[in-house]
Chains A and B, each alone.
Chain A
């Protein structure tokens, strides 16, 4: 075993860690925004918007993520739209994870007693205001566990961006493997680097869950 390969290439691997973080954070922001919007669409009184939300969720979450990333990277250029590997990855991860967030948040909205919305509207808030200030905060607080689950999956799924030339943790490990042949060591190192991100993220989710539950 040549564990020194991890030390010798610590700089490149750390750069890969930063890229994985960058992809994950951007994808989290976009996918969470998509999730909130689509969840609200699915519970609005408008049938048209309902159906649009349902169509989004069922279409996007039932297609493999890799296909969606490849769609952005390989297929869109044929109609003149070019994202680089990084943004193809972020777009693919965001639309895909957004569908799962939407489902989690929607279940949370249903769990908020309907009296809350009625009371908010009766006190003079518009539907949008009632959603934004009364229903959604409760819905999201109640669905921290599934949201956390989906977030951890998203961080791990971000390794797929290595297939479109992004030197994230896995991409860097692969490139270094081609030079050193120490694949076992590099993959073990990559696994540990993912844990460096996912374990604190998991702890953060647990902490948030406890804090919101007390209130």
Chain B
């Protein structure tokens, strides 16, 4: 072969190899196969207090989502410690579930119709809402004030798509984690950070003297537990767990422990809400699709 042809031959070879990569189909994990394995693998956030946070000194994770995960492990395996926590990001959690790395996603995940085409969800276990975190002296009082200002959020999240819809004239900075966004906010690099109120609350607690939440809740975000598509047996076990922790008072205890307040009066109705209904309600908030990411540098 002529020497100068070789690189193009390699390109063709690479393309062919990529073409043969069939989507790795995860073998069905049922409660029985999890029992046989002896450990439940759950994708959780390691950087989203108070829902999931890793303490690098002890190498232990804790948080609201972590306690929910332990309750599921107790239902399936009879032991809340037979659990392996896998750190996920908003961007990689669905691929990790689909390729079988994890059995469940319990990672502050909003139930949406787009996601329901990829995976199944449990019933709703929490309701958050998107809000803004700003410096105490900030003139920003609502997302309407973000025009001409910059706002930080994270890649692969619903707030990233929402903020482009509701504040089309804001500069959206997209980083990988909430603490990175908070660092950018503290450094004066951005005017606001936006994501779900409870996650902003977790960050604001680190420096309550200088930062505040503002702008109220301009979405509601029904959180659900992600389960591989069509895995009915596992979904049933998860929903049984949710019903159980709602009934025996442990959910209210977790809520008070991590969010420093009792759940609101209507919280029992969340648990009765099917994922289909939650996704439909989420969609009705935004009649138009989110604009494509702008080609900003």
Contacts and interface: CB of A to CB of B under 8 A. Distances in A.
Interface string B278-290: 0000000000001
A176 B189 contact: no
A43 interface: no
Interface stretch (A11-19, A45-53, A55-63): A11-19
Interface stretch (A109-117, A125-133, A184-192): A184-192
Interface in A108-167: 163-167
Contact of A175 (B15, B152, B180, B293): B293
Contact of A15 (B8, B157, B295): B295
Contacts, number: 92
B188 A77 contact: yes
Given A183-B95, A203-B4, A74 B297 contact: no
Contacts of A163: 175-176
Given A74-B180, A178-B90, A184-B21, A12 B295 contact: yes
B18 A74 contact: no
B180 A195 contact: no
A73 B23 CA distance: 36
B187 A177 contact: no
A101 interface: no
Contacts of A177: 91, 156
Contacts of A1: 23
Interface string B30-61: 00000000000000000000000000000000
The size class of the interface chain B forms with chain A is 35 or more
B183 A74 contact: yes
A74 B187 contact: yes
A33 interface: no
Contacts of A202: 7
Given A165-B175, A178-B160, A172 B188 contact: no
A85 interface: yes
B18 A191 contact: yes
B119 to A, nearest CB: 9
B187 A82 contact: yes
Contacts of B156: 174, 177-178
Nearest to A13: B295
B209 interface: no
B189 A178 contact: no
A4 B18 CA distance: 15
Interface in B246-297: 290, 292-297
B188 A167 contact: no
Contact of A85 (B23, B188, B297): B297
Interface of B: 4, 7-8, 11, 14-15, 18, 21, 23, 90-92, 94-95, 114-115, 117-118, 152, 155-157, 160-161, 173-176, 180, 183-184, 187-189, 290, 292-297
Interface of A: 1, 9, 12, 15-16, 19, 22, 73-74, 77-78, 82, 84-86, 163-167, 171-172, 174-179, 181, 183-184, 188, 191-192, 195, 199, 202-203
Given A74-B183, A165-B152, 10 more contacts: A12-B292, A22-B297, A77-B187, A165-B173, A167-B293, A167-B294, A178-B160, A179-B161, A181-B94, A203-B4
